Amino acid sequence: MEPEISEADLLCYAQRYGNLFNVYCQGDVATCDYPGLLHHYENHGISGGKKVGCDAATDAPVKPVEPEISEADLLCYAQRYGNLFDVYCQGNVATCDYPGLLYHYETHGKSGGKKVGCDAATDAPVEPEISEADLVCYAQRYGNLFNAYCQGDVATCNYPGLLHHYENHGKSGGKRVGCDPVVETTEAPVVEPTEDPMKGYTKVGDGFCRGPGGSTVNFVKSEVPMSLADCVSMCDSLSTCVGLSHMGKNGGYCEAYGSMTSASTGWAYRNKAEKTVVSSGSHHGVVCYTKDGSGLCSQNNVAIDDVTKIICENSADVCEVYIKKGTLREVSVQTGNDYCSAIGLECLQQFDDQNGCSRGTEYSSCDATGGTTSDHIIRCGSVPTATSEPTEPGLTRENYICYALRYQHLLTAYCQGSASTCYVDGLKHHFENHGQGNGLSTECTSEFLAIIKGN
């Protein structure tokens, strides 16, 4: 049936109370928001004694009248009470939510004695008292704000958030907004980014870069204490350097390592119980780093996580790790084969452990779960480059390449990133032992087949 309140009734309602016509119709009958007008009448007009419908004498919308509350009035209202400008305009006149401001004034501002409209002297919105440059200086003066609201970069500052913080916390806490007079400028102050001195290096752990069975080989020790950044520079200056130990709080001495491939050593670090075995004296603050890309672990994007707990060796041919059972790269890791397959390598050996890189008894194979034990030491090596055809009936060579194309980490690990160089037997082994049980797909799409054909 016909609605009790028609659009014509709502138009007359809007025109009778000009601020509604301005806000809900933008001054044009063709753009009226009738659902919004109905909502306003039912939730505010009725209780406020406002009349809906047209004048009986004409039964038609009345001539528009000048709005009682204009957008300019609402803008001045928002700017007069800065928190409203922050919330309803996001600190920018172009993005003001005028219906929201009108709603706020009618439901909260009017009853709270707040003033709507512009100053009579100017009859125009006033400029914000606090500029963006002022807010940048405020953030930089109190460094935690610059970090939280600008992420350390002036170009990404959240100015409405800074204004909100100052008005709700800074002002009452005695904090100062604005720039110092001697350096005040219309341009936002520039903060030079600081470069990470350890970019290109991975922290292996706390302690010297030493294996469980002996001392390191081919290393250079600094003659004088030096900073961590200078220690990195020393390693970078040596073409054979693949990692370093920095003494930190123990004088700042640096050891740069050129090889970690002997049978008794690896990229292990001494745990707290073993540190006294390394050499005499205290080693508080010593840290071991490997140079990214120089070892097999780095090449296969191995990082410390819930499964990989310690990188024990990161040499050109071996990635040896202390691991906890869990899920890594969509693979449920229980055995050495599970772990090495997940990172795109083959398992060479699997050992019991002593809760770190110190090896226990070697397992008979890389398929051993170790029963109830929760951790192992796994020694992985490079996957052979053979490309023989799989023999599994039902799945073709193309299926296994499609399997790699579908899951990017497999394409990187088994195909060196290209469908033309896939190690198909390795993909077959991964699918049968991991992918199939986890519901992964070998289905070929037309896009995948086009890639394979193009190679």
Residue 112 half-sphere exposure, CB side, CA atoms within 13 Å? 9
Cβ proximity of 23 and 98 under 8 Å: yes
Whether 127 has a pLDDT exceeding 50, the answer reads no
* pLDDT at residue 339, as a whole number: 95
Question: Residue 401 — φ and ψ, nearest 5°?
Answer: -70, -40
- Are 21 and 64 spatial neighbours (Cβ–Cβ below 8 Å)? yes
Domains present along the chain, CATH in parentheses? 130-192 (no CATH), 203-291 (3.50.4), 298-307+315-381 (no CATH), 397-454 (no CATH)
Q: In this model, does residue 237 exceed pLDDT 50?
A: yes
**62 pLDDT more than 50:** no
Sign of CA dihedral 391, 392, 394, 397: negative
pLDDT tens per residue across span 435-446: 888 888 999 998
Q: Is the pLDDT of residue 389 over 50?
A: no
Of residues 410 and 196, the one with the higher pLDDT is 410
- pTM score, two decimals? 0.33
Q: How many residues does the chain have?
A: 455
The average pLDDT across 61-77 equals 68
Between 272 and 405, whose confidence is greater?
405
Order across the sheet with 254-259: list the strands.
Answer: 201-206, 287-291, 243-246, 254-259, 217-221
